[in-house]
Structure 1
Amino acid sequence: MRFSPKAFHFSLCQARRQIHLTFSLLAFFLLITSGVRAAEDLSQPVPALKPTLNQAIASVNVVQLLKNNSYEKLSLDQSNSEKIFNSYFDTLDRNRSFFLASDIKEFTKYQNNLDDALKGGNLRPAFEIFNRYRERSEERIRYMLKLINAGLDELDFKKDETLELDREKADWLKDTKEQQDLWRRQLKDSVLSMKLNDKKISEISELLTKRFNNQLRRLHQTRSEDAFQLYLNSYTQLYDPHTQYFSPQRAENFDINMSLSLEGIGAVLQSEDEYTKVISIVPAGPADKAGQLKPGDKIIGVAQGNDGKIEDVVGMRLDEVVKLIRGAKGTLVRLEIIPSSASDGKTRIYPISRDKVKLEEQSAQKNILEVGKGDKKARIGVIDIPAFYIDFKAAQAGDPNYKSTTRDVRKLINELKKEKIDGLVIDLRNNGGGSLQEANQLTGLFIPKGPTVLVKDSRGRTEAQQDPDPKEVYDGPMVVLINRLSASASEIFAGAMQDYQRALIIGGQSFGKGTVQTIQPLNHGQLKLTVAKFYRVSGQSTQNRGVIPDISYPSLFDPKDIGESSLPNALPYTEIKPTQYAALKPLAPVIPELTKEHAKRIADNPDFIYLNKLREYQKQFDGRTVVQLNEKKRKQEITSMREERLAIENSLRKAKGEKPYKNLEELEKEQTDKYSQNKKDKKPEEDALLVETGEILGDWIRTKNPMVAKNNQ
């Protein structure tokens, strides 16, 4: 959906007038920091930052845009002033490792009037708080360097100490003594992690010295724009997590994450604390083909080529990390990763060959999967759709062969019908969405006519998208396979198939992204704001809750970490009045029997047993928030975890008659070798979840047509 920028216009004259009437800030705003800097003298304290007049105008502009046009309606009043206050401190110091309780007490004078400050463009409170944060950051860095210079051998790894990793709800640090004790433990944890990753103390000392000196340099290089963007987003994200202010530098490419997804490794990244975290993997991109990098992984080092030295990127700005990762097509980048699925503290090195994501490589693909045995055999067509794509440029140019999801799937279905399939699986796992138009048109391939999705805008108006083609391309038995990474357009399609009773939905609960955003230019940067919400034809929202499968599979994705519901201030699941649509015969009566047969099959299925064990393993260890700082105990914990992980792997191999691994290193080497092969070479028979989906569909087909096998002979 597109919305006219004119509908959201708030003139600069109005913004200037409101600032002038509310505050006499001319002298204040003329104190603008220079855009040209001399080389930083790191021995000097970090200089204070000051806001600019353009930033003040932009803040007023953003307030008005959100007030008039955001889907979520919030009053910028005293109650929300307190939320902005808390949100800003959470943004700056989520783990409560910098600010003292005395800092918070001092700044509570702003707690109830940030609403008025924003309305009038007064950024003084925000910059006072940010400058204090920089002071505390500098103190931490210099304290860490002092400890390193004193010698890391002085750290006592025999002492029984622990470190609380998740301090989000902890009390603010009461004094300098408590603050420095926390910093010492954090340093001790970093050193111990490196020691257990086979680094020598001299190497660790050199690496950490370089890391903290780099952080100090970046602290000196922090710009006024950094403070402004963080503060404004502490306000905008009270509306929802997708409402964001982009500074002019970020607005230039729209979003640095998106520019990375187009060229480089094909991953969307964001900063989280001191780490660069993987948010999603672009289908058919280099990282997806390599197969190792996963959402939730943290990048701690980047190296160029096969032999380049790994550069530590902990604490580095996101744009700087991106520059290191991006590069010429065909060149190799190696990433040092803390995997989201690893609980043993061991880092991994993932080599990825840089490339551009090609539209043709994101195309839907087909396969044939045979399930059942003897007279129960069925031929299942499988169409894997990695994204909802369309080549707009070619379509607008009148190219009769332009590529789109719907056109490709139509062609593949016709080919599969000639191959006499008995049923069809649409595989939407890891499909993060794309074109709404394509989700609408793809739905139309499987229903005679009717609405496909409802879109409710910020003014409360609801519009139904309609099936543009009354012809059904396929009317046979069908399953849609989803997981937690199936989002947006994927959820629209899956939700429509479920509401029309057109297909069984199998897999994991989907992501829950059911909102529409638009980008609006400002005098200074851009604002992305949520302007509409998707609803299924049944009136249910896809927002927050996602699509719930008819038959569920165990998932290794933790909803607390992955999915819309894991994001702060995510819009809630809601329902509206359903629209008129002609659903087919209800599938509810067949689901219990299909579920029963599924449960029998997986009871002794090695792959499902393995998946359940792995999920329990992750629950056991990933939820830990306290780590041991006693080296002996830490080693014992890691050994225990790795032995348990190895046992899970070898139980699967034993069940399949394969030789057990001697250790996890052997497993990881084999996985790396496998991942170096193109994922498209993987046969559908090797995908346990896909095979079981085919079996469920086979059961359903036989309940509808017991003569399936004879028809195929």
Structure 2
Amino acid sequence: MLIKTIFLLFFALSSLPAAPIEKSPFPRPDIVIYNTTDSVTCRNIIRSIQSLHYSQKELDDSMSSKILTKYINTLDISKHFFTKNDIKNFEQIRYKIDNSLLKGDLAHGYIIFNLFLKRSFERFVYIITVLEDWEQKLNFTKNENISLTSEGKPWPKNKNELTRLWKKELKNNILNLKFQKKDNKEISKILKKRYWNRLKRLCKINSKDAFRIYMNAVTTSFDPHSQYFSQSVSDNFDIQMSLSLEGIGVVLQNEFEYTKVVRIIPKGPADKTKKLNPGDKIIGVGQNIKEEIQDIVGWRIDEVVKLIRGPKNTFVRLKIIPANKKGNHDPQIIIIKRDIIKLEEQAAQKKIVEISANKHTYKIGIIHIPTFYRDFKALQNGKKDYKSTTQDVLTILKELKQENINGLIIDLRNNSGGALKEANQLTGLFIKSGPTVQIKSRSGRIAQLNDPDPTIAYNGPLIVMINRMSASASEIFAGAIKDYNRGLIIGTQSFGKGTVQILKTLSRGKLKLTNAKFYRVSGRSTQHQGILPDIEYPYIYNKKVTGESSLKDALLWDMSKQAYFKPYKNFSSILKILKEKHIKRKKQSIGLKYLSERYQLALKTYELKKLSLNEKKRKKQIHSFDKIKINIKNKLLISKELKPINNIKDIDADKIEDDFLLKETEFIMVDFIELIKNKNYHW
């Protein structure tokens, strides 16, 4: 009866007639149907959310509406599959999903998913058919555009509007390949292969995929960090958490038809290349140096992971669309040597620089901390000398003190967090004693982590560097240093992840749920807002697409009770002077101007709403952006007395390794040291 109901509802919702199966030369996806195991797992997920999730939001009509919107956007964010009439039909179930989920009834989700499969099939068939003689059918002199965002756009009225969108998609892909210097024969071959492969993969989609996607629309409606992992995704998650993966050291996720880089694991193979960034989209993967790069657009995440993963000392080539680009006319190819990501390579590292100013030479110690690590296995085995961030930094501090450093910079840029206890203990190296972070459970109970040891490992001038990718444990440490007035925070607004997740094993897969929230000792949450620097630097990462505030349904910033703690003397009397000196240098610094101009161009590119499908106009559009990029780079090259470039392909040929932000931080540290000499600062 259930199967019959799904079939009837599915075809009732579909406004497009199905092509006769026996006459179609194309493989067709099966209709997906849920089973008893899916229903049981669904009920377990819902019960877990209701009893464990921090927000304590009810699964009511309001949440039902949110889940439907989230699910539709997950399947069709670009508005290329569903019509206005489909959306009207979906409205009939907008306030019924909650009651269905409580009973383990997945019919609503599967009906929509089956319609999505049907439209995806029709889209691929249409595009493959047009590709047979696209040179005659498609006109690249027409003045038309392809929209790069669906925000504010109405849903297509009917099938004719859908096919117009599909045609524009194809024209855009053809133009992208034309500007990669591919001839028409190559373009046909590449795109036919791409869309046939995507059609074949569409036909492999099964009930488990539908269940995972639907359940994640449910969990992420409560907050973006609550997720359901199917068994295959769960296995990959376990490997990632163990850090024993032989691969390239990246965390990936599906974003519509693309594979997106979410995080770069510090000191991993990808991190060492300095060419891959969070937000980049991987569109192709090739093995070794010369093998053909496979188009992976539309692939499942587990299939992409299998392709990228491989034995140590072998090479993988990635074709990527950088995060700051719209369209894919100019993808980049990155070669990465696979390796095992070792804990030792993620260890804190030090260096000393000497800066001369006002007839003095100052020694500045710099400690780079890629992650907050702790060798839990060694700790469980009773080893006293287990490897950890705090132990390593303590050793480094002793060495730096012997070198008589005048100031210390702790670099937490791109540090996405790690062991919470390490953030607590590391803070303890710089303060006398007291609380370092507060953790609020869903019941409202507040627990504190404290530094009970009055010993201070370093009591000199301190600066902590952060950026948009500094998250979680990094924000706890930086927030404590800021609240205690123990040091200056310099950089950009941090990520803003101020929540705690637990992992629950289900009969099939795992469930990650947000069950607590972090608060600084001042009572301010790190959630959403992150840590705001005392002195702000130019952004490197687009904060509109990175950070907690860019995530839909992220828990909001709020405050809790202030903990009892004794801050040191604040820096208000000298901070204004430090800012003035920084601004003066910034105006004269070619390096900082370069970073600022590059970021502004990335923002401009990101904010593009449309691309021309007129070949001449598109070429002009691309040339205009390339000219700006070359101009920005040449200002920097000329300042370094290096040869300027003329071709966009040479944009990365002359790598300039200077860390302009770290260099400026060193200058700020010297100003800091000189300003506090007679200001009675003691730590």
TM-score range, shorter chain: over 0.9
**Shift in CA distance, 542/641, structure 1 to aligned 2, threshold 3 Å:** same
Question: Which one-letter code corresponds to 2:609 in the other structure?
Answer: T
Q: Following the alignment from structure 1 to structure 2, what is the Cα–Cα distance between the partners of residues 670 and 457?
A: 51
* Preserved CA contact (<8 Å) 1:152 1:205: no
Displacement of 1:342 after TM fit?
4.1
Does 1:422 find its partner at 2:419? no
Distance 1:42 1:238, change over 3 A: farther
Please say if residues 514 and 541 of structure 1, whose CA atoms lie closer than 8 Å, have aligned partners that are also in contact. Answer: yes
**2:457 matched to which residue of 1?**
473
Identify the residue that residue 364 of structure 1 maps to in structure 2: 348
In structure 2, the residue matched to 1:701 is 673
Using the TM superposition, name which of 193-202 and 613-622 deviates more.
613-622
Matched residue, 1:379: 363
Contact 2:482–2:488, Cα closer than 8 Å, also in 1 = yes
1:52 to 3, 13, 35: 35
Structure 1 CA distance for aligned equivalents of residues 397 and 239 of structure 2: 37
The 1:253–1:322 alpha-carbon spacing in structure 2 relative to 1, beyond 3 Å, is closer
Q: Output the CA distance in 1 between the equivalents of 2:501 and 2:72.
A: 26
How far did residue 43 of structure 1 move?
A: 3.0
Name the counterpart of 2:9: none
Is structure 2 residue 536 aligned with structure 1 residue 552? yes
The alignment partner of 2:49 has SS state of helix
What residue is the counterpart of 2:232 in the other structure? 249
For the residues of structure 2 that align with 1:458 and 1:42, how far apart are their CA atoms? 55
- Local SS of the residue matching 1:494: helix
Question: Identical aligned pairs, as a percentage?
Answer: 45
Structure 2 CA distance for partners of 1:627 and 1:28, relative to 1, 3 Å: closer
CA drift of 1:399 comes to: 2.5
| C-alpha contact (below 8 Å) 1:372/1:695 kept by paired residues | no
Contact 2:27 2:200 survives alignment (8 Å): no
Equivalent runs, 1:204-283 vs 2, <5 Å: 204-254=187-237, 262-283=245-266
> Of 601, 608, 622, which residue of structure 2 is paired with 1:617?
601
- Aligned counterparts of 2:493 and 2:213: Cα–Cα separation in 1: 32
TM-superposed deviation, 1:343: 5.7
The match for 2:271 is 288
**Could you list the per-position Cα deviations for residues 628-654 of structure 1 after superposition, in whole angstroms to 9, with x for gaps in the alignment?**
111111111111111111111111122
2:556 is paired with a residue whose SS is coil
Give, in whole Å, the separation in 2 of the partners of 1:213 and 1:26.
Answer: 30
Mapped contact 1:42–1:216 kept (Cα < 8 A): no
Q: Name the SS for the 1:107 alignment partner.
A: helix
User: What is aligned with 2:490?
Assistant: 506
2:135 and 2:203 mapped to 1: Cα distance?
26
Matches of 1:136 and 1:168 in 2, distance apart? 21
TM normalised by structure 1 equals 0.90
User: RMSD in angstroms over aligned alpha carbons?
Assistant: 1.9
Supply the distance in 2 between the matched residues of 1:526 and 1:619 (Cα, whole angstroms).
37
- Structure 1 window deviating more from structure 2 (520-529 vs 388-397): it is 520-529
Q: SS at the partner of 2:132? A: helix
Q: Which runs of 5+ in 2 are unaligned?
A: 7-23
Q: Structure 2 CA distance, aligned partners of 1:188 and 1:26?
A: 40
Where in structure 1 are there 5+ consecutive unaligned residues? 1-23, 30-40, 675-681, 708-713
> Counterpart of 1:5?
none
* SS across alignment from 1:80: helix
Letter in 1 for 2:174: V
Deviations 1:350-391 (A, max 9, x none): 000000111111010001122233514311100000000011
Map residues 385-534 of structure 1 onto 2, 5 A cutoff.
385-534=369-518
Larger deviation: 144-153 or 457-466?
144-153
- 2:144–2:612 contact (8 Å) kept in structure 1: yes
Aligned to 2:139: 156
What is the DSSP-based 3-state SS (H/G/I as helix, E as strand, rest coil) of the residue aligned with 1:232? helix
Q: For the residues of structure 2 that align with 1:643 and 1:469, how far apart are their CA atoms? A: 58
One of 67, 70, 81 as aligned partner of 1:98 = 81
- Out of 570, 585, 602, the position equivalent to 2:586 is 602
Deviation at 1:468, TM superposition (A): 4.0
Q: 1:659, 1:397 → 2: CA distance?
A: 57
Q: Deviations over 1:501-521 (max 9, x none)?
A: 001000010000110000112
Q: Kindly indicate whether residue 178 of structure 2 is the aligned counterpart of residue 199 of structure 1.
A: no
- Greater Cα shift, 629-638 or 253-262: 253-262
Q: Which amino acid aligns with 1:138?
A: F
Paired AA for residue 161 in structure 1: E
The CA deviation at 1:398 is 2.5
Q: C-alpha displacement at 1:254, in angstroms?
A: 3.4
Amino acid at match of 2:414: N
1:706 positional shift: 7.0
Report the counterpart of residue 11 of structure 2 in structure 1: none
Q: Distance in 2 between matches of 1:411 and 1:167?
A: 53
Q: Which residue of structure 2 aligns with residue 648 of structure 1?
A: 632
**CA distance in structure 1 between the aligned counterparts of 2:624 and 2:241, rounded to whole angstroms:** 40
Contact 2:269 2:339 in 1 (8 A): yes
1:334 maps to a residue whose letter is: R
Contact 2:288–2:316 (CA<8 Å) still a contact in 1? yes
Displacement of 1:103: 1.5
Letter in 2 for 1:484: R
* Inter-partner Cα distance in structure 2 for 1:25 and 1:308: 48
CA contact (8 A) 2:26 2:125 kept: no
The 3 A distance-change label for structure 1 pair 562 and 591 is: same
Alpha-carbon deviations, 1:184-228, whole Å to 9, x = none?
001000110011011121111111111111111111111101111
Distance of 1:86 and 1:286 partners within structure 2: 38
Contact 1:257 1:269 in 2 (8 A): no
Counterpart residue number, 2:12: none
Distance, in Å, in 2 between the alignment partners of 1:168 and 1:233 is: 22
- Matched-pair contact (CA < 8 Å) for 1:42–1:220: no
Distance change >3 Å, CA 261–CA 601, structure 1 → 2: farther
Aligned to 2:647: 663
* 2:143 counterpart of 1:171: no
- Whole-Å separation in 1 of the counterparts to 2:673 and 2:169: 58
8 Å CA contact retained: 1:264, 1:355: yes
Q: Give the residue type in structure 2 aligned to 1:414.
A: K
Q: What one-letter code is carried by the residue in structure 2 that aligns with 1:520?
A: K
CA distance in 1, matches of 2:493, 2:273: 26
Cα deviation for residue 542 of structure 1 reads: 0.5
Change (3 A) 1:99 1:699: same
Q: CA deviation at 1:470?
A: 2.0
Structure 1 pair 599–132 and aligned structure 2 pair: CA distance change class (3 A): same
Larger mean Cα displacement after TM superposition, 249-258 or 689-698: 249-258
Count of aligned pairs between the two proteins:
661
Matched to 2:670, the amino acid is G
Q: Distance in 1 between matches of 2:243 and 2:323?
A: 21
2:247/2:308 contact within 8 Å kept: yes
Report the AA paired with residue 559 of structure 1: K
Matched, 1:139 2:122: yes
Contact 2:462/2:487, CA 8 A, preserved across alignment: yes
The question of whether the paired residues in 2 share the 8 Å contact of 1:499 and 1:537 is answered with yes
Contact 2:27 2:199 in 1 (8 A): no
Of residues 226-235 and 247-256 in structure 1, the stretch that sits farther from structure 2 once superposed is: 247-256
Deviation at 1:153, TM superposition (A): 4.8
Deviates more, 1:151-160 or 1:543-552: 151-160
- Tell whether the 8 Å contact from 1:329 to 1:356 is kept in structure 2 after alignment: yes
The secondary structure found in structure 2 opposite 1:372 is: strand
